Each structure stands twice: as structure tokens, then as C-alpha cells.
Amino acid sequence: MSKDKFLKLLQQELDRIDGVKTAKRNERIITGFTKDPSPKGIINGKEVLIFNSNDYLGLRFHPELLKAEHKASEEFGTGPGAVRFISGTLLPHKQLEEKLAKFHKRDDAIIFSSAFATNLATLFSLIVGQSKDSVVDNDVLVISDALNHRSIIDGIRIANHPKEAKAIFEHMNPADLSRILKENVGKFKRALVITDGVFSMLGEIQKLKELRKVISEYDKKYERGILLIVDDAHGIGALGEHGAGSEEIEGVQADVLIGTLGKGLGSDGGYVVADQVVIDYLRESAATYIYSNSISPGTAAAGSAAIELLSKKQGQDLINNLKANIVFFKKLVKDNDLKMAADSKHPIQPLLIGSPEKTKALVSFLLEKNILVTSINYPVVAKGADEIRIQLSATHTKDDIKQLIDALLEARKSIEF
Ligand SMILES: Cc1ncc(COP(=O)(O)O)c(C=O)c1O
């Protein structure tokens, strides 16, 4: 049967993936969480301290979010029932968009089912017009940081933009962006510069201020200007005095800011905040907004509760705890001569290990000690830069962090790193 041949091909690919040891599908199942205030899940009947979650403020179990989610589900049901322009625009969606716009000091916001879906449709819409009648032409140079997230890469990919209209600037190198913009003056009417706000492998914060400066130098040389698009999925709810992300650290605003509710904000879904015309245009053109359901009303209400919380003392305390935990962790790292892959100011703290075998052994060792971390290996990072990615949360106690460091020191007796 031809189907068998088709499936055989897929099996061969699975075998190849297993062979190079990059398989991801045998995920660990968290069967529950403890009532402990620390982030502790249950895996194989054992309580484990979670050091690999993006829930940087520990909001996913916050009573305010849970209460808001339950109330909205009671009132509006468990799902949106339709896409937004049919009958799926519910009050919690509008309230969330208003709160996000205000939080990020923008005109308006638009929410999507995820940040991945946000990037796919937003980039497509801003690069090419949605239909053959669209007046938005594709006379645009698209410039992307070399280490941008897969959702950005795919957003650019699906726009099917010509090769000569796409450029990649060296990772976090504003001078290289300047070179590209200079070389292309007169060749394109407009340009888009797209970057992650935080690069999640090493916790690096993009140099947004410098990028903005470069863009302002060339802005007038492009007939229709240059837009800076920032996906700050890992920055929002993790960085800045008010948790507003890398923009707050860098003191500049993107023209189009993309975020997720599914990491530091403890809920789920993606969004864009920008000028009114950008948001209006996306509501008319973004395929994953028009043809795909939004988040459920409970999820939207939990997102709103997260934003509200950040403006209150309770939220501020969590932001301060997170910052104190980062400082505390870094001090213990220094005192104990542990090597980091980068000097990160973000709750992502990458411990340099050096080989896939050692990272694997270390992850297993730590799991034996009831600690959950993630290994990041080549090709995601350079060969020899294999790391253990530690993600801190506001709800880790100092004892939790000490427990992690003690386990690492014990591991160092048998695994060299
Ligand atoms: C930069 C960036 N963008 C987008 C996403 C996807 O976010 P979501 O889970 O909301 O689709 C991630 C998550 O890994 C990310 O790191």
C-alpha cells in the first residue's frame, strides 16, 4: 500500500532524529503541583523543584488570576465559540486589549491565540499585502537578527519574500544593521527591522536603544520609513521596574511590540501593541486573527488580572523578589566559581557545561536530586557551548536556590564543568 511507503518515510525521519539524539517527543509529564509556594511539580510521583519554566513571576497559580479566570469562564463559557469577527469577540478580549495597550503605553492592542501565531500573521501582513487588491506592496527590505526566534523566521518565510529583499544582521550587532541599511538606500521604499527583545538561550537583552539610533539615522533615506518590530516574549513580566520588558530596560519603544501572555504573565496567548493604524490594519489582514479562534474568555481574564497585578504592590513585590533572586543566584555562582555561558541580567541563567554528554548527565543528576532544568545543545548553541538553562522565578525561595547550587557542586565531583 502506498500509505505504508509514506509512513515508512516518516519513520525513517524519526529514526534519524533519534539517532542524532535531538528527539523531544518523550516529554516529562507533570502530573500535579504541590501546594508549596515554591514552583514544585510532581513527576513520576516525586516532588521536583522547577527551574525551567517561563512563569517568571509565578503568576499561573496566583489567586487573582485564578479568580478572574473562573469568573470569566462562568460568565462567558470555556471557549470563544467563533473567530473574533463572527461572534468570538467577548468582553474579556476587549478588556484585555485595553489593559495591554495602557500597560505598554500604546494606542491599542490585538490578541492572538499565541505569540507564534502573532508573529506568523503580523510579519506576513507587514511584509506583503493580504490580497492582490491590497495597496500594501512588497517593496520592503526585511532585516532580521541572526538568532531570532523560530516564529519570526517562519513569519518571514511564509511571506515568500524575494531573497534579495531579505537580510540578516549579525546577532546583537547594531553596526551590522547600519551596514545593511546603508547598502540598501534607494533600493527599497521601506524597511522592517525585526528582533527578539530577549534571546532565550542565553538571556541576552537586545540593544534596542542602539538599534533605534541606527534606524533613526536611515529612516528618512527610505521613502516610506523603517519600522522596528520587537518580539519581547521573554522580556515582558521578567524585566524592568514594572515588568514591561526590555523596552523598559533600554528606555525606548518599538514601533510594533509583540508579546506573549504565556510566559511572565502567567496566562496564555500572544499580542501586538502599536499605533492605532497598525492594529486596525492587523484586524483587517492578520490571517491567524481573522481565521482562527482567539484565546478563551477565562484565559483573557487571567491575562487582564496579570496586567492589573503588575500595577499593584503585590505585583511589584513579585518583580522585586525576582530581581533579588537573580542577584542571589549570581552571587552564589561567583562564590562557587561556576562558569556561566553569558552574564545574564534576566531570570534565564545559562550555566556553561561544554558537551551534550555532560549536559545530559547533569540534567539526570539534578533530577535525582529533585531539580528540573533544561539542557541546551548544539545546534541551538555553538559546539562546546552546551549549557544547562536555569530559569529563576519570583516564587523560588533562597533555600530553593541554595538547594540548586548545592546539587550543582555535588555534581561537579563526578561531572567536570
Ligand atoms: C521570542 C519568542 N517569540 C514567540 C514565542 C512563542 O510564544 P507562544 O508560546 O505564546 O506562542 C516564544 C516562545 O518560545 C519566544 O521565545
Distance separating alpha carbons of residues 344 and 249, to the nearest angstrom: 13
Q: Which atom in ligand 1 lies closest to the alpha carbon of residue 148? A: 1
Q: Cis bond leading into 350, ω under 30°?
A: no
> What's residue 131's pLDDT?
73
Residue nearest atom 15 in ligand 1 by C-alpha distance: 233
Sorting pLDDT into bands at 50, 70 and 90, what band is 134? confident
Residue-averaged pLDDT of the chain: 96
Cα-to-centroid distance, 116 and ligand 1 (Å)? 6
Cα-to-centroid distance, 360 and ligand 1 (Å)? 24
pLDDT in tens, 86-129: 999 999 999 999 999 999 999 999 999 999 999 999 999 999 87
- Of 24, 55, 116, best ligand 1 pocket probe by most atoms within 8 Å of the beta carbon: 116
Tracing cell 552574564 back to the chain, one arrives at: 343
Contact 369/31 with Cβ under 8 angstroms? no
Is 352's pLDDT higher than 80? Answer: yes
Report residue 19 CA to chain centroid gap.
29
Is 130's pLDDT higher than 90? Answer: no
Please tell me whether residues 68 and 36 are part of one structural domain.
no
pLDDT in tens, 319-342: 999 999 999 999 999 999 999 999
Is 314's pLDDT higher than 70? Answer: yes
Q: Which atom in ligand 1 lies closest to the alpha carbon of residue 268? A: 10
Contact 362/375 with Cβ under 8 angstroms? yes
Q: Which atom in ligand 1 lies closest to the alpha carbon of residue 149? A: 1
Within-domain flag for 18:
no
Contact 377/201 with Cβ under 8 angstroms? no
Distance separating alpha carbons of residues 22 and 39, to the nearest angstrom: 27
Within-domain flag for 252:
yes
Q: pTM for the full model? A: 0.97
Please tell me whether residues 295 and 330 are part of one structural domain.
no
Within-domain flag for 384:
yes
- Of 111, 118, 119, 151, best ligand 1 pocket probe by most atoms within 8 Å of the beta carbon: 151
Which domain-ending residue is among 289, 310, 331? 310
> What's residue 129's pLDDT?
73
> What's residue 382's pLDDT?
85
Please tell me whether residues 215 and 305 are part of one structural domain.
yes
Q: How many domains does the chain have?
A: 2
Task: Kindly state the cell numbers that stand for 249.
Answer: 530596560
Please tell me whether residues 143 and 77 are part of one structural domain.
yes
Residue nearest atom 3 in ligand 1 by C-alpha distance: 233
Please tell me whether residues 117 and 244 are part of one structural domain.
yes
Catalytically active residues are 200, 234, 263
Which domain-ending residue is among 310, 325, 360? 310
Ligand 1 is surrounded, with C-beta below 6 A, by: 114-116, 149, 151, 196, 200, 231, 233-234, 260, 262, 270
Please tell me whether residues 209 and 276 are part of one structural domain.
yes
Sorting pLDDT into bands at 50, 70 and 90, what band is 1? confident
pLDDT in tens, 33-48: 999 999 999 999 999 9
CATH code: domain of residue 184: 3.40.640.10
Cα-to-centroid distance, 310 and ligand 1 (Å)? 21
> What's residue 303's pLDDT?
98
Please tell me whether residues 171 and 120 are part of one structural domain.
yes
Within-domain flag for 341:
yes
CATH code: domain of residue 340: 3.90.1150.10
Which domain-ending residue is among 295, 310, 325? 310
Express as a percent the part of the chain with pLDDT over 90.
93
Please tell me whether residues 179 and 295 are part of one structural domain.
yes
How buried is residue 329: exposed, middle or buried, by Cβ count under 10 Å (0-12/13-18/19+)?
buried
Closest CA to 349 of 196, 238, 183: 238
Cα-to-centroid distance, 235 and ligand 1 (Å)? 11
Please tell me whether residues 317 and 303 are part of one structural domain.
no
Within-domain flag for 15:
no
Please tell me whether residues 36 and 87 are part of one structural domain.
no
Q: State which H helix or E strand residue 63 sits in.
A: helix 63-76
Q: Which atom in ligand 1 lies closest to the alpha carbon of residue 261? A: 10
Please tell me whether residues 237 and 137 are part of one structural domain.
yes
Q: Which atom in ligand 1 lies closest to the alpha carbon of residue 234? A: 16
Distance separating alpha carbons of residues 302 and 67, to the nearest angstrom: 8
Closest CA to 229 of 124, 351, 102: 124
Within-domain flag for 7:
no
> What's residue 37's pLDDT?
94
pLDDT in tens, 211-250: 999 999 999 999 999 999 999 999 999 999 999 999 999 9
Within-domain flag for 14:
no
Can you give the residue range of the structural domain that contains 398?
A: 27-56+313-411
- Of 149, 202, 246, best ligand 1 pocket probe by most atoms within 8 Å of the beta carbon: 149
pLDDT in tens, 353-380: 999 899 999 999 999 999 999 999 888 8
Within-domain flag for 13:
no
Amino acid (1-letter code) at residue 62 = H
Please tell me whether residues 274 and 182 are part of one structural domain.
yes
